[in-house]
């Protein structure tokens, strides 16, 4: 099976990945066959990309400040316009520039590292190049209900790795099982109150995993339904 290159997608996350890798690569370089020049190269890439990210964030913050300044200049209440409230950004000194496509170089290096006979997932986690899958404990699950009321309530939740949920409902006489739902959305088709009347319905749910209820009960969700309009 070919080695899988794990690269974080968001710019800030990729930057953090590069920084972590550069900080610890010296500890693994010899065993994984990484040359000193390659170590220096990835460190230079990490240093430069960190500067790029910080500078971009600096200008992004300045742009937001200028937008507020522009609105204040046009419609604000202050008598005087003061540009000093949004001083131009002053970036940190630029480190030695590197060639474009830092991600490609990093990806190729990671792929080679993962092909080494001395590579292990433990190494990869330390280097930040191994995806760590969150531990799934069926007993920790707690459904989060989101209920949209148009006419009859529509109950939504995230199923995740669970099979579904039991939905319980209190229409005013205590909780009773409403239904067992295996999809991520369920419409409560219970009869609505008479026209001109309203009712308070409460819901709670618990996950199902392999035909058994597991985890924690959701928080109680309360809604008000109105009598159905006449035809």
- 132 is a domain residue: no
Residue 5 maps to a domain: no
Question: What local confidence, expressed as pLDDT, does residue 24 receive?
Answer: 96
Specify the residue for token string 């039991």. Answer: 166
pLDDT of 87 reads: 79
Per-residue pLDDT tens digits for 100-151: 999 999 999 999 999 999 999 899 999 999 887 777 889 999 999 999 998 8
Q: How many domains does the chain have?
A: 2
pLDDT at 5 over 80: no
The answer as to whether 46 is a domain residue is yes
Looking at the structure, do residues 89 and 165 belong to the same domain, yes or no? no
Task: Give the residue with greater pLDDT, 200 vs 81.
Answer: 200
Q: Domain span at residue 36?
A: 11-127
Count of alpha carbons within 13 Å of 167, Cβ hemisphere only?
28
Residues 76 and 147 placed together within one structural domain of the fold:
no
From 69, 95, 127, the end of a domain falls on 127
Pick from 127, 151, 172: which residue ends a domain? 127
Indicate yes or no: pTM above 0.75.
Answer: no
Asked if 138 and 209 touch (Cβ cutoff 8 Å), the reply is: yes
Is residue 111, in this structure, part of any structural domain at all? yes
Q: Are residues 149 and 64 in the same domain?
A: no
Whether residue 151 is found in the same domain as residue 206: yes
Q: How far is CA 39 from CA 10, 29, 43, 109, in A?
A: 24, 7, 6, 10
Quick one: pLDDT at residue 83? Answer: 63
């Amino acid at each position: 099976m070919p080695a899988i290159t794990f690269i974080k997608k968001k710019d800030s996350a990729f930057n953090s990945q590069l920084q972590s890798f550069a900080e610890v690569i010296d500890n693994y370089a010899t065993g994984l066959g990484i040359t000193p020049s390659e170590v220096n190269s990835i460190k230079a890439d990490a240093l430069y990309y960190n500067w790029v990210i910080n500078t971009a964030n600096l200008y992004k913050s300045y742009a937001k400040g200028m937008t507020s300044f522009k609105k204040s200049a046009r419609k604000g209440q202050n008598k005087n316009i003061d540009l000093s409230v949004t001083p131009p950004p002053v970036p940190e000194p630029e480190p030695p520039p590197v060639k474009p496509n830092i991600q490609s170089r990093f990806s190729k290096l990671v792929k080679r590292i993962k092909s080494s006979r001395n590579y292990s997932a433990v190494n990869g986690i330390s280097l930040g190049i191994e995806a760590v899958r969150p531990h799934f404990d069926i007993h920790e699950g707690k459904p989060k209900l989101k209920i949209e009321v148009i006419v009859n309530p529509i109950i939504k939740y995230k199923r995740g790795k669970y099979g579904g949920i039991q939905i319980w409902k209190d229409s005013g006489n205590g909780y009773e099982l409403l239904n067992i739902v295996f999809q991520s959305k369920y419409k409560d088709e219970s009869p609505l109150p008479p026209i001109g009347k309203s009712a308070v319905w409460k819901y709670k749910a618990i996950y199902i995993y392999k035909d058994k209820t597991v985890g924690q009960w959701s928080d109680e969700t309360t809604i008000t339904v109105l009598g159905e309009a006449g035809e």
